Structure 1
Amino acid sequence: MTSVRVPTRRAVVAGMIGAGASLAMPAAPVRAASGGPPPFGTVRHQFTLVQGARPVPPVAIPALAGGALDLTAFKGRLVLVNFWATWCAACRTELPMLDRLAASGRSDLAVVAVSTDRNRAQVAPYVKQLKLRHLAIGFDPGGLVSRVDAAELDTPFALYGMPISFLIGLGGQVEGYMTGEADWLSPEAGGLFDYYASGGR
């Protein structure tokens, strides 16, 4: 039986340093350019396009509310998948924003937040403390769908940093990702969602 390596803080930092490397992506990421989606970013990070990504495979991600989350079940909707951890300071800022986005009533967008914490018992109290009531929250402590060393795992979710958010388009494939906390409630983020919700037009 093959043991599953769990991402550690050191591994995540190493993944951040090596963010420029090609990890599990069929084609090299490219920055948003003219003719593509509208620009969206922060002072430190920009939404980065992924070209040639395969569709996200069906994987049952254990859910905080019980049962499982399947990222392929959101047919006809965009899915913003955020990977986070309780030890991540930027995550504490970004998660409430994502919770408000999930409650915004945007019917063409689902928001899923997946914890990478190894200790699952820490997650529920943390979620309660931040008063997250609208996010679909899952667990991925063993790297079921996300890995720092993603070259060893057949996944479109490489943890280049923490937090990191991936946008899955209407076709069920990753369109791009954003490392670090971002203002997902901004008009710029709304423009990004509008672009992909309209099929990239």
Structure 2
Amino acid sequence: MTSVRAPTRRAVVAGMIGAGASLALPARAASGPPQFGTIRHQFTLVQGAYPVPRVAIPSLAGGAIDLAAFKGGLVLLNFWATWCAACRTELPMLDRLASGGRSDLTVVAVSTDRNRALVAPYVKQLKLRHLAIGFDPGGLVSRVGAAEIETPFALYGMPISFLIGVSGQVEGYMTGEADWLSAEAGALFDYYARGGR
């Protein structure tokens, strides 16, 4: 006669944790982009990638930044604000990425602050020297949630970064601060620099 032992509480909890982890981290197809994320956020693919419309973003350096002009290269477009604690951590990392020597990548950081006068001193305080800094105080380029005005980029969190591929289409986005200098981020950039192959 074989005795059947009831599972221990520890075994049940371990099984539940394992099942939850497999649901929390979606498996990528072998042909898809490499996984990139943090404990709280994952790079989210945009289904049916859409082209970036021609839009002039006022620049801190003067003139305007035209995202469509970067077609043929990658663009990491970051939206941030001076009041955002995570942005304060991420912006210097993005500045190092911009100076890192990837000739196929342009990093653009767009402030959503309504008071434009706050931006230049903040950029100077953080010693950001390599980022292309833009402004969107009126929400012409970005919007929070549902808005009356249709804009190219929805702000699902702050900060948020959109990756625009070599074809000029938005491929995906990442909310929250991320380690854009990591090997995983580099693999993501490599994947999209090859046209998503």
Shorter-chain TM band: 0.7 to 0.9
Partner of 2:28: 33
2:145 and 2:156 in contact (8 A); partners too: no
1:81 matches 2:77: yes
C-alpha spacing 1:47/1:147, structure 2 compared with 1 (3 Å): same
For structure 2, list consecutive stretches of 5 or more residues without a partner in the other structure.
1-25
1:123 matches 2:119: yes
- TM-fit CA distance, 1:75: 2.4
1:141 matches 2:137: yes
C-alpha spacing 1:56/1:129, structure 2 compared with 1 (3 Å): same
C-alpha spacing 1:43/1:63, structure 2 compared with 1 (3 Å): same
Q: Which runs of 4+ in 1 moved over 2 A?
A: 149-156
- TM-fit CA distance, 1:171: 1.1
Q: Give the whole-Å Cα distance in 1 for the aligned partners of 2:89 and 2:107.
A: 16
- For the residue of structure 1 that corresponds to 2:179, the secondary structure is coil
- For the residue of structure 2 that corresponds to 1:111, the secondary structure is strand
- TM-fit CA distance, 1:150: 4.6
Partner of 1:65: 61
C-alpha spacing 1:60/1:150, structure 2 compared with 1 (3 Å): farther
- For the residue of structure 2 that corresponds to 1:53, the secondary structure is strand
Q: Give the whole-Å Cα distance in 1 for the aligned partners of 2:61 and 2:81.
A: 17
Higher Cα Rg: structure 1 or 2?
Answer: 2
Partner of 2:99: 103
Partner of 1:8: none
C-alpha spacing 1:32/1:114, structure 2 compared with 1 (3 Å): farther
2:90 and 2:178 in contact (8 A); partners too: yes
- For the residue of structure 1 that corresponds to 2:61, the secondary structure is coil
Q: Give the whole-Å Cα distance in 1 for the aligned partners of 2:175 and 2:77.
A: 12
Q: Give the whole-Å Cα distance in 2 for the aligned partners of 1:90 and 1:76.
A: 30
Q: Give the whole-Å Cα distance in 1 for the aligned partners of 2:46 and 2:75.
A: 15
Q: Give the whole-Å Cα distance in 2 for the aligned partners of 1:138 and 1:170.
A: 21
Q: Give the whole-Å Cα distance in 2 for the aligned partners of 1:82 and 1:118.
A: 17
Identity, % of aligned positions: 85
- For the residue of structure 2 that corresponds to 1:101, the secondary structure is helix
Q: Give the whole-Å Cα distance in 2 for the aligned partners of 1:189 and 1:33.
A: 15
Partner of 2:6: none
C-alpha spacing 1:150/1:80, structure 2 compared with 1 (3 Å): farther
Q: Give the whole-Å Cα distance in 2 for the aligned partners of 1:166 and 1:180.
A: 11
- TM-fit CA distance, 1:149: 3.1
AA matched with 1:33: R
Normalising by structure 1, what TM-score? 0.82
C-alpha spacing 1:66/1:114, structure 2 compared with 1 (3 Å): same
Q: Alpha carbon RMSD of aligned pairs, Å?
A: 1.2
- TM-fit CA distance, 1:165: 0.2
Q: Give the whole-Å Cα distance in 2 for the aligned partners of 1:111 and 1:198.
A: 18
